[in-house]
Amino acid sequence: MSALVQEVLVKKSSWYRWVQLVVGIVCMAMIAGSHLKGRVALHCVNALKFPPLRGCSSVVERKLPKLKTRVRFPSPAPSQMPASFDGRLVVAISSRALFDLEESNRVFETEGVAAYHRYQLAHESEILEPGIAFSLVRKLLKLNTLVPAQPRVEVILLSRNTADTGMRIMNAIEHYQLDITRAAFTGGENTYPYVPAFDAHLFLSANPLDVRKALDAGHAAATILPSHVGQNVDATGELRIAFDGDAVLFSDEAERVYKREGLEAFTASEVSAAKEPLSGGPFKSFLAALHRIQSEYPAERAPIRTALVTARSAPAHERVVRTLRAWNIRIDEALFLGGLEKGPFLKAFGADIFFDDQRGHCDSASRHDITTGHVPYGVANE
């Protein structure tokens, strides 16, 4: 060690370099003797201006003439690692879709923000009634309790309330024993930026602007339409979800032909392209996430049942069937209605929610007391 000091004194005559070397030698000796740990060692390394730590191995290596020191810092314990959703189905929902906030919203729209704030605080201890999508959320969360019990679904609350006015909503979540632990309160700002941040497979909201922006970001999203079906809080039985085809599960490429050239041209186009799978629509990823949960169970015991309810009819059905086959995704029921009103068939299926891009079909479903999500996507919404 003295030879090393002499060499440095010859080459580096400054007093600062001498002090730096002495500090470094002392630190290295103490590290070798296990007298320094973690943060103290890091301070010594920083004092020597060693390169920054890289990677999870937490190894700092610094070479000096004839001396090599390796300083190891403990990697973070598993409990310290960032949380993740581990492949769960992630559903983001607005507070107005989950609970009945119509009276609160009326106060906001007619009297302004300050009055709304006073109203929410004055009624904070009053439990909100279930909203339109309440029953759906309960059934989704029930999937986590099925044997084998494991986290399959994460429901996240997105709200334009502040954390202060949002206390009433969180109180209702606790009252109904909903396993919702994550929330974003934006204080009047748009909620859609948090849909991709949470990487949600589905976003349900009463705000059409937020829904459109989430769709633009590539996430399945729907505007929950007003109805009274949320009062049915029964969470028993299967979770039953129905989808339209074109511009929902599939792209709107075929529907554009229909809008532009009519039914005859649409049918001819679909027959000629029968063996060419359709491109995926905004709800393909959500359907795939449902399918992963379904795949945990035999088909006859799956807790989720899905249906395709489309205005298509034969021979335009073939391309749809072949597309789902190419995706390796199961649809339990497929209804090719050839333009018939969808509401009665959705009622017969017992849908907990139905997604469609055309408002007329959505209104038909709502008239038959089906929770309905309008998907403002594709040529029908331009």
Residue numbers annotated as active site: 244
Q: What is the four-CA torsion angle of 205, 132, 347, 322, rounded to 10 degrees?
A: 20
Give the ranges where the chain is alpha helix by DSSP (H). Answer: 2-11, 15-32, 38-47, 95-98, 102-111, 113-122, 134-142, 167-175, 194-197, 208-216, 253-261, 263-272, 284-294, 317-327, 343-349, 359-367
Query: How far does CA 301 lie from the centroid of its chain?
Result: 26
**Among 238, 209, 197, 225, CA closest to 356:** 225
What's the token pair of residue 13? Answer: 């005559």
Looking at residue 263, the DSSP 8-state letter turns out to be H
- Reference 159, options 180, 134, 186, 137; nearest CA is 186
| Cα 265 from Cα 312, distance rounded (Å) | 13
Residue 363: HSE in the Cβ half-sphere, 13 Å Cα cutoff: 3
